[in-house]
Amino acid sequence: MNHDGSLIRPRAASARVEPRHFRSGRTFFYLRTFLLLIAFTALLLFVGVQTVTPQPWIVLLGAILAVYLLVVGLSPLLTRHTLTGSRLILRQGWYFRAALPLGDAESIGPYDGEAKYGLRLAIGRRTLFVVGSTANLVGFRLKEPRRFPQVLFLKATEVVFDVDDRDAFLAAVEDRVTASEPLPARKIPILPRARR
């Protein structure tokens, strides 16, 4: 019972926030896939025509190069970033995934600095880049440095990534951050008062 004698009623569950997906830039990945395809084709032609290499070895080399092209070249074209109610899940292909809780953010906003393409860590600035295009960049500054296994467990204090619609992304982040602010604490007596 509450202090006024009424029963404690559960608060209505807050509406579940649906995850929103944001595509990242594709320009860099299209170019990289095209250049890898040309380089691998030239290598296979050279090995097949100019050298005396057994056919099973050429087939094995072709299979290895095809898997590499699929993972590094094509998989980034199939992935996107996800914003849930409490965290941001960044993806770049099948080789990078990081879940960043929104509560760990010191700040989230537009990034106007110079970006590096692909998945790179600027060690001097402690900035991790998950970038496919230099348009619509967003900076996610962490309260404390965090290690990322995909870049040899080095620490980063800021993660820079790109989205297709930066304004919509930042509005969605703001909605989630303001909706998840805790309510002011209030003492609710649950146990009966001790008898003396």
So what's the pLDDT on residue 14? 52
pTM score, whole prediction:
0.77
Write the DSSP string, 64-88.
Answer: HHHHHIIIIIIGGGG-EEEE-SSEE
The DSSP output letter for 150 is G
**Six-digit token pair at 117?**
């393409």
Q: What is the pLDDT of residues 126-148, one digit of tens each?
A: 999 999 998 899 999 999 999 99
pLDDT less than 50: residues of the chain: 1-13, 183
Q: What residues have CB less than 8 Å from 87, skipping those under 6 apart?
A: 99, 100, 101, 102
Residue type, 43: L
| 105 contacts 137 by C-beta, under 8 angstroms | no
Nearest 10 degrees: CA dihedral of 61, 66, 68, 72? 160
Query: Is the alpha carbon torsion for 132, 133, 138, 144 positive or negative?
Result: positive
